[in-house]
């Protein structure tokens, strides 16, 4: 692990946060561990897979209202 750490804050609606925390608990992990793994996977995946996250899921809008 690196010697320096940085904090990442993620804003999420309360219901999704609750669901995420419950799922993490069921899996015997915590939110920080899951987010770290997701980020590491995302960084390791390379640009061919990263573009998949650039588009919001069907039927959902980005925060600024654009598609």
Pairwise CA distance, residues 67 & 65, whole Å: 7
Confidence of residue 21 (pLDDT cuts 50, 70, 90): very high
3-class secondary structure, 40: helix
* Per-residue pLDDT at 46: 75
pTM score of the predicted model: 0.63
Mean pLDDT for the stretch of residues 7-27: 96
Q: State the pLDDT confidence band at 42, using cuts at 50, 70 and 90.
A: confident
Please compute the mean of the pLDDT values over residues 28-47 and round it to a whole number: 90
């Amino acid at each position: 692990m690196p010697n320096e750490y940085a904090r990442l804050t993620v804003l999420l609606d309360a219901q999704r946060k609750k669901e995420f925390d419950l799922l993490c608990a069921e899996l015997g992990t915590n939110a920080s561990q899951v987010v770290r793994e997701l980020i590491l996977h995302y960084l390791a995946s390379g640009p061919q897979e990263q573009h998949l996250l650039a588009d919001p899921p069907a039927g959902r809008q980005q925060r600024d209202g654009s598609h």
